[in-house]
Amino acid sequence: MRTGLRALVVDDYDDARVMYSEFLAFKGFEVVQAENGLQAIAQATSVLPDLIILDLALPDIDGIEVTRRLKRSPATEAIPIVMLTANAQARMLDEARKAGCVAVLVKPCTPEELLEVVTAFAQVRTG
């Protein structure tokens, strides 16, 4: 099953990035990966995915700053960003939403939970 949708999965933890990427690919998404914030910005700008799944804690710049930068660029401002975080503090969740994330999922989340959110927001953007 091909969805025709492209997702960018960003996580510095290889196991999480690969697990989510392989699951989305199995569900028909074309998947591009990045393992840090600067790679995420470069990939988002060059690939223009339909949706970005972005870890909060990254080794160079955090997911909130990545979101802010992408939302400031006319090329990437409309791409829905779903934040993944192990930090369930209300302040962090609120900060992610204020930066422009359409949803925040607390890790560990199952691939099925991620798929439900990804599918909802990717379809909203693509029509």
State the pLDDT at residue 126.
Answer: 47
Query: What CATH number is attached to the domain comprising 21?
Result: 3.40.50.2300
Q: Is residue 1 part of a domain?
A: no
The single-letter DSSP state of residue 3 is -
Return contacts of 18-26, CB within 8 angstroms, 24+ apart.
Answer: 19/111, 20/53, 20/111, 20/114, 23/111, 23/114, 23/115, 24/111, 24/114, 24/115, 24/118
Which tokens go with 122? 């990717």
Which tokens go with 65? 């700053």
Predicted confidence (pLDDT) per residue in 60-112, tens digit: 999 999 999 999 999 999 999 999 988 777 788 889 999 999 999 988 888 88
State the pLDDT at residue 3.
Answer: 64
State the pLDDT at residue 87.
Answer: 76
Domain that holds residue 68: 6-126
Q: How many domains does the chain divide into? A: 1
How big is the CA angle at 68 (ends 112 and 48), to the nearest 5 degrees? 60
Among 14, 18, 17, 11, which Cα is nearest to 37's? 11
Among 39, 32, 102, 91, which Cα is nearest to 66's? 39
Distance CA 93, CA 97 (A): 6
pTM of the model: 0.91
